[in-house]
């Protein structure tokens, strides 16, 4: 798994922590693929949210944009799962909050959703289970 970071700059320790979390999630969910993690300031996140999720209310702390499965990527034999957009103004480099948002967004990239009640329950249960597996990585 390869993770590309872009947007607002982050420190090396933070990048390593997010990479470790994403890799552990990938193994736990049996997903294979690369992701991009983009840190945006609050203004850029509001603009993105208004374009991608116009009906959603309130500030967005994470937006997951899964890659369509049939989208060609001839440059890599490894599939591209999608992009996670994190609101830097809301996470402010807080390790636990960032890890939880990466977890939530990664589940969306892996096909989880929370539109229906049973999907909400399934996703919440999976988040709780996976949090126990990754929470130790928060402080690396």
Give me the residue spans of the domains in the chain.
3-139
CATH, domain 3-139, list 3.40.50.720, 3.10.129.10, 3.40.390.30, 3.30.2350.10: 3.40.390.30
**pLDDT for position 75:** 75
User: pLDDT-derived band of residue 18, with 50, 70 and 90 as boundaries?
Assistant: very high
Confidence check: pLDDT of 125 > 80: yes
Q: What is the CA radius of gyration of the chain?
A: 14
Q: Which helix (H) or strand (E) holds 7?
A: strand 3-7
* Mean pLDDT score, 15-27: 94
Q: Can you give the pLDDT at residue 140? A: 66
- Could you tell me the pTM of the whole model? 0.89
Strand partners, 66: 82
């Amino acid at each position: 798994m390869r993770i590309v970071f872009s947007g607002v700059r982050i420190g090396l320790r933070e990048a390593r922590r997010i990479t470790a979390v994403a890799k552990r999630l990938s193994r736990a969910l049996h997903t294979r693929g690369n992701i991009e993690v983009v840190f945006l300031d609050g203004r850029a996140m509001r603009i993105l949210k208004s374009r991608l999720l116009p009906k959603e209310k309130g500030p967005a702390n994470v937006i997951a944009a899964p890659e369509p499965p049939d989208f060609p990527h001839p440059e890599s034999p490894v599939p591209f799962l999608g992009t996670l957009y994190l609101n830097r103004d809301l996470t402010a480099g807080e390790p636990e909050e960032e890890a939880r948002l990466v977890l939530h967004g990664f589940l969306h990239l892996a096909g989880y959703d929370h539109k229906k009640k049973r999907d909400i329950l399934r996703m919440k249960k999976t988040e709780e289970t996976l949090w126990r597996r990754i929470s130790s990585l928060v402080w690396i």
